[in-house]
């Protein structure tokens, strides 16, 4: 290991007094992104990280080459037919980005390239590129597409005439994540952010006009709420969705009449959530009406859509959570979750016959694929497990035939039979059983000598389901056990599971994760000196919290873009997304929440004690977790920790929350993290 000294951030005390309590923040100055001192410090940390990891460069290269060797570098996605065209994307060996294409009537027809991101990247001399909006007009003549070129998630939108391949003069700046076309093929609606990166405005654009002439259709002034757009699959309605974490509201517009006004379905009511779709003169709703924690499916007449007219179609079931639904001309597909596993309910809307799709493995995950067609009897889903590579599957809703259209190739002789997948349960400190999904190579000893990577997230009700990763094989084939901890705060076990890990019960998330780690050690899956914890973003908060609470349990921790300066961030409403997060973490302007947040905020609870080996990442342009959170945390750890173990900060100076955007660059980032993990576990 390099013997160079780690950089130390200057101590410049900044006092903050709230509720009569004064906190001293010695590294508050790191928030100044334009400061030469700040940029110099981040660059010094990057250089130190490079020096400390220099002895692993050969291992990094080996890992990178392994990962590349497993992928089909020149490949093509499973095509999706929409109208007269087959749409797909493809990759080319040596090129970083996808190429988006279509063919007319047949996959044997001549290819039309809609957008080649490699060409955009190279011609623009870019360091970062991410595709946002990608929407073909109803007549499939035009393509609206949006690009982010610095990781800040503020997009530039253009419209391409697909008959000529030329962009129109329409160029819109500062576009957010949503766009929908009206049925006239010349009008679309889009949203923009405010200064805090909250999607707050809906605009109407007519092709050929200037952005400055766009009509402001809706402005959401409540800082708890943001807005997004959708469209019913039958193309009848445009949907304006307004939502906070706890509450939602929907407005609808006849897609044939873009100059008319959106109509409110049901006014927002604190704690009431609903989403809608349309079929044959009925709105179908997924809602938690009347304290239906796991949601129910209801219908209502669009002419009088208020909740007084909502009628049950699928009543609330305490053991089954409804995540959403898709409507087609003759069928309704309901995405459900039971006992921590995703299930799929299919209803024939003519006969009312119901059946559940039978999945081929006991532990798996799936997601809705691209299903643009209204008149179809085939459902496209994406399927995977811890041992089965990502697969595009067509399921016949009537014959119940399961057809794998495309399975992502895993080169190099991969055989799923060489690996074992399990589902086990740890017992939390309050007696709750916490599920874990595991995978490891067959023949691993399970005698406590094996290294183990324990991954967790546990926030926003998001479920981390057991999916596949070909990169992960580089760990599994070196004897690692990979484990997902399905901790409270996530959504794997339903709404109550989520609510048991938020607000004033957030510490359950951290103690659940610790219980999972302890179970793995006690049951011979690993040992404390071979256990590595990994999490990103809100999962990075988890990493910071468990590092403070149980530093001796984990030999090493990888915290990606971690949300660790919880109190300071939640007190500063000028920071992107802060106000909207009050319904996840609580508002520290209220004394009870302030004290609770302060009790677990990783940055505020760093102490003079030994810590695990630590690798921390940040993105300079990250609008979700500001770079200064991990930077301040590392600076404070450097000052207070009493051990000589590695503490590394790697800041992506030209990217945001998602690190590198190119697929090869992303693999190099992964190889770097894996090299750190393998190095520290010997």
Residue in 226, 391, 537, 660 annotated catalytic: 537
Residue in 657, 659, 661, 679 annotated catalytic: 657
Cα 220 to Cα 205: distance, rounded to the nearest angstrom: 18
Cα 45 to Cα 671: distance, rounded to the nearest angstrom: 19
Could you tell me which of 239, 193, 245 has the C-alpha nearest to residue 220? 193
Cα 14 to Cα 571: distance, rounded to the nearest angstrom: 15
How is residue 342 written in tokens?
A: 């995703």
Could you tell me which of 344, 425, 416 has the C-alpha nearest to residue 385? 416
657 is catalytic: yes
Could you tell me which of 626, 663, 522, 594 has the C-alpha nearest to residue 196? 626
Cα 321 to Cα 318: distance, rounded to the nearest angstrom: 7
Could you tell me which of 516, 475, 515, 459 has the C-alpha nearest to residue 386? 475
447 is catalytic: no
Contact between 23 and 567 (Cβ < 8 Å): yes
Could you tell me which of 455, 481, 390, 410 has the C-alpha nearest to residue 67? 410
Could you tell me which of 540, 466, 479, 541 has the C-alpha nearest to residue 507? 541
Query: Alpha-carbon Rg of the chain, whole angstroms?
Result: 25
* Residue 317: DSSP 8-state: B
Question: Euclidean distance between the first and final Cα of the chain, in Å?
Answer: 13
CB neighbour burial string for 32-71, b if at least 16 within 10 angstroms, e if fewer:
eeeeeebeebbeebbebbeebbeebeebbeebbebbbebb
235 is catalytic: no
**Overall size of the chain counted in residues:** 682
Residue in 148, 170, 622, 669 annotated catalytic: 622
β-strand partners of 421:
439
β-strand partners of 238:
231, 253
Could you tell me which of 613, 435, 395 has the C-alpha nearest to residue 516? 435
Helices and strands per DSSP (H, E), number in the chain: 12, 38
Helices (H), 464-573: 473-476, 495-499, 507-522, 538-549, 566-571
Contact between 6 and 48 (Cβ < 8 Å): yes
Could you tell me which of 144, 188, 190, 189 has the C-alpha nearest to residue 167? 144
What are the angstrom distances between the C-alpha of 569 and each of 397, 581, 635? 48, 10, 17
Task: Write out the catalytic residue numbers.
Answer: 537, 622, 657
């Amino acid at each position: 290991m390099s013997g160079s000294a780690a950089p130390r951030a200057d101590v410049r005390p900044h006092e903050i007094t709230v509720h009569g309590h004064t906190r001293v923040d010695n590294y508050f100055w790191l928030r100044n992104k334009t400061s030469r001192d700040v940029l110099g410090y981040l660059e010094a940390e990057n250089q130190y990280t490079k020096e400390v990891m220099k002895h692993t460069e050969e291992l990094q290269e080996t890992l990178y080459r392994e990962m590349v060797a497993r992928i089909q570098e020149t490949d093509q996605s499973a095509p999706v037919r929409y109208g007269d065209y087959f749409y797909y994307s493809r990759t080319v060996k040596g090129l970083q980005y996808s190429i988006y294409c279509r063919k007319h009537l047949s996959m044997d027809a001549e290819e039309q390239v809609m957008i080649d991101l490699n060409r955009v990247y190279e011609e623009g001399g870019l360091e970062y590129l991410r595709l946002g909006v990608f929407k073909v007009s109803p007549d499939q003549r035009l393509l609206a597409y949006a690009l982010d070129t610095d990781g800040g998630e503020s997009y530039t939108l253009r419209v391409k005439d697909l008959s000529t391949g030329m962009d129109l003069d329409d160029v819109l700046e500062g576009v957010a994540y949503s766009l929908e076309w009206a049925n006239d093929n010349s009008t679309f609606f889009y949203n923009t952010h405010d200064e805090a990166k909250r999607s707050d405005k809906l605009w109407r654009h007519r092709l050929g006009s200037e952005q400055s002439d766009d009509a402001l259709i809706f402005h959401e002034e409540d800082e708890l709420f943001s807005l997004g757009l959708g469209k019913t699959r039958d193309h009848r309605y445009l949907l304006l969705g307004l939502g906070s974490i706890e509450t939602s509201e929907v407005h609808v517009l006849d897609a044939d009449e873009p100059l008319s006004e959106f109509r409110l379905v049901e006014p927002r009511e604190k704690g009431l959530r609903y989403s809608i779709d349309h079929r044959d003169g009925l709105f179908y709703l997924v809602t938690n009406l009347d304290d239906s924690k796991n949601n129910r499916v209801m219908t209502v007449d669009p002419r009088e859509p208020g909740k007084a007219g909502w009628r049950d179609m699928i009543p609330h079931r305490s053991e089954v959570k409804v995540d959403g639904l898709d409507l087609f001309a003759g069928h309704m597909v309901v995405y459900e979750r039971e006992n921590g596993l995703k299930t799929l309910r299919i209803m024939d809307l003519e006969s009312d016959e119901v059946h559940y799709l039978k999945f081929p493995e006991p532990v798996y995950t799936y997601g809705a694929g691209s299903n643009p067609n209204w008149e179809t009897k085939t459902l496209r889903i994406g399927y995977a497990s811890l041992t089965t590579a990502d697969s595009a599957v067509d399921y016949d809703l009537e014959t119940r035939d399961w057809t794998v259209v495309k399975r992502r190739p895993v080169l190099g002789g991969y055989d799923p039979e060489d690996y074992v997948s399990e589902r086990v349960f740890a017992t939390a400190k309050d007696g709750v059983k916490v599920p874990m999904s595991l995978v490891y190579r067959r023949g691993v000893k399970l005698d406590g000598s094996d290294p183990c990577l324990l991954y967790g997230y546990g926030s926003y009700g998001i479920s981390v389901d057991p999916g596949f990763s070909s990169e992960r094989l580089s760990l599994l084939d070196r004897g690692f056990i990979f484990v997902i901890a399905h901790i409270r705060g996530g959504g794997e076990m339903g709404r109550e599971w989520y609510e048991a890990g938020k607000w004033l019960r957030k510490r359950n998330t951290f103690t659940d994760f610790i219980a999972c780690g302890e179970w793995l050690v006690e049951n011979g899956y690993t040992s404390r000196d071979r256990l590595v914890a990994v999490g990103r973003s809100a999962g990075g908060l988890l990493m910071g919290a468990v590092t403070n609470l149980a530093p001796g349990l984990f030999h090493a921790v990888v915290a990606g873009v971690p949300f660790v300066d919880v109190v300071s961030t939640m007190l500063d409403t000028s920071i992107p997304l802060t106000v909207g997060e009050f319904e996840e973490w609580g508002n520290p302007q209220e004394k009870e929440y302030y004290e609770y947040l302060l009790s677990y905020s990783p940055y505020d609870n760093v102490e003079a004690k030994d810590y695990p080996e630590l690798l921390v990442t940040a993105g300079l342009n990250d609008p979700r977790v500001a770079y200064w959170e991990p930077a301040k945390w590392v600076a404070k750890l450097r000052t207070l920790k009493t051990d000589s173990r590695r503490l590394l900060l790697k800041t992506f100076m030209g990217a945001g929350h998602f690190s590198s955007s190119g697929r090869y660059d992303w693999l190099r980032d992964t190889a770097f993290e894996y090299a750190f993990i393998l190095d520290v576990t010997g």
